[in-house]
């Protein structure tokens, strides 16, 4: 009985109905169950288009490895040669939309929830206030828990009588859509004064691999990503350069670079983002969100 009482008190204490409602109201949220909800999403005209580029020191797949059994009692893991570095690309479109929400609140769902919590909290509060503590232990914690739950149950009982009402809300929302995951034709990486072409899979030629490796070993590494007239400059941190050289197994250069790192070894990947004109990377000039808006307006006019 005492164990069950403790479990029930803990569950109710962690999610008191009145406490959650007051907290939600204070945070500007509505702690109510919506009924007969109807949502209309209206896209707003205009959007932005971005090309996200991520550098991978040893490919996008995990480094392969094999286990030798020369000594069965202590198998030895031997890593194979790392995969060549490559890039991953993602094109996204970001737009704005508005959600128009019509619903009923404080109806049957609300009544059932508040009534259930009222009964549960009142029962646990009564058990906490009326039961005695084990020998040698203070009964004060039980009284505190019981008093809190009794007060929460009282407020919850009052919430039961909140009248039902209909609401209409408007909520703005940001919509991010991924439209492609290949690298566009014409993407170029420049480092050390040399340009490296990138294919659709993000692969680099052997010369490009050497260019990036040499750039990561330089104290003032500077990499520029270009696509047409758009460009972005990356200055990798010592941690990121250290992680790159360790992934490439370039031990000699890694020792010098990693000495300046703070020990995290580049947990943050080397990334950059190019914001381009809408439609540049999607092959269409008609904005997707604007098209959806026009279609919605045309249908409503019929």
| DSSP codes of every residue in 198-228 | --TT-B--HHHHHHHHHHHHSTT--EEEEET
Give the C-alpha separation, 91 to 133, whole Å: 63
| Whole-number pLDDT of residue 55 | 93
Q: Could you give the residue ranges of the DSSP H alpha helices within the chain?
A: 2-14, 17-26, 108-130, 140-159, 206-217, 238-247, 251-258, 288-301
Q: Partners of 48 in the beta sheet?
A: 94
pTM attached to this predicted model:
0.65
Structure token pair of residue 208? 């490009």
Task: Return the residue matching tokens 């990377």.
Answer: 281
Give one word for 36, left, alpha or beta, with left for phi > 0 and alpha for psi -120 to 50: left
168 in Cβ contact with 101 (< 8 Å): yes
Question: Is 278:47 a contact under the CB 8 Å cutoff?
Answer: yes
Which pLDDT score, from 0 to 100, does residue 29 have?
Answer: 72
Going residue by residue through the chain, which has 302 residues, state the pLDDT in tens, using 9 for 90 and above. 454 445 444 544 455 677 777 677 666 676 667 888 899 999 888 899 999 999 998 776 544 444 445 555 555 544 456 778 899 999 999 999 999 999 998 888 888 888 888 888 888 888 888 777 666 576 777 788 888 888 888 888 888 888 888 989 899 999 999 999 999 999 999 998 899 999 999 999 889 889 998 998 888 889 999 999 999 999 998 888 888 888 888 777 888 888 877 655 556 789 999 999 998 888 644 444 444 455 455 555 54
Tell me the C-alpha distance between 204 and 206, whole Å.
7
Q: CA quadruple 177, 183, 184, 189: dihedral positive or negative?
A: positive
- The pLDDT of residue 286 is 40
Task: State the pLDDT at residue 70.
Answer: 52
Per-residue confidence (pLDDT) for residue 227, from 0 to 100: 95
Give the pLDDT score at 12.
46
| pLDDT score for 65 | 47
**Pick from 271, 264, 216: nearest CA to 244:** 216
- What is the Cα–Cα distance from 134 to 44, expressed in whole angstroms? 64
Q: What is the per-residue pLDDT for 187?
A: 94
Cα 141 to Cα 146: distance, rounded to the nearest angstrom: 8
- For the chain, which residues make up each domain, given as ranges? 2-31+108-162, 50-92+182-301
């Amino acid at each position: 009985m005492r164990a069950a009482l403790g479990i029930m008190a803990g569950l109710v204490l962690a999610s008191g109905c009145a406490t959650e409602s007051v907290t939600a109201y204070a945070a500007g949220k509505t702690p109510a169950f919506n009924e007969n909800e109807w949502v209309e999403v209206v896209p707003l005209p205009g959007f932005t288009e971005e090309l996200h580029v991520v550098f991978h020191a040893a490919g996008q797949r995990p480094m392969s490895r094999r286990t030798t059994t020369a000594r069965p009692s202590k198998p030895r893991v031997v890593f194979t040669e790392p995969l060549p570095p490559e890039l991953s690309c993602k094109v996204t479109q970001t737009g704005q939309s508005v959600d128009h929400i019509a619903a009923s609140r404080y109806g049957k769902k609300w009544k059932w929830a508040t009534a259930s919590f009222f009964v549960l909290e009142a029962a646990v509060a009564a058990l906490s206030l009326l039961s005695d503590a084990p020998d040698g232990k203070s009964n004060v914690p039980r009284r505190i828990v019981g008093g809190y739950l009794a007060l929460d149950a009282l407020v919850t009982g009052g919430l039961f009588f909140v009248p039902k009402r209909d609401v209409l809300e408007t909520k703005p929302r940001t919509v991010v859509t991924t439209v492609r995951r290949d690298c566009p034709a014409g993407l170029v990486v420049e480092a050390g004064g040399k340009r490296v072409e990138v294919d659709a899979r993000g692969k680099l030629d052997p010369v490009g691999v050497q260019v990036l490796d040499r750039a990561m070993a330089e104290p003032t590494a500077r990499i520029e990503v270009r696509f047409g007239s758009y460009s972005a400059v990356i200055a990798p941190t010592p941690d990121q350069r250290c992680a790159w050289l360790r992934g490439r197994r370039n031990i000699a250069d890694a020792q010098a670079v990693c000495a300046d790192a703070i020990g995290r070894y580049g947990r943050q990947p080397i990334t950059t983002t190019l914001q381009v004109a809408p439609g540049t990377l999607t092959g269409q000039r008609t904005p997707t969100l604007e098209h959806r808006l026009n279609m919605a307006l045309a249908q409503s006019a019929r």
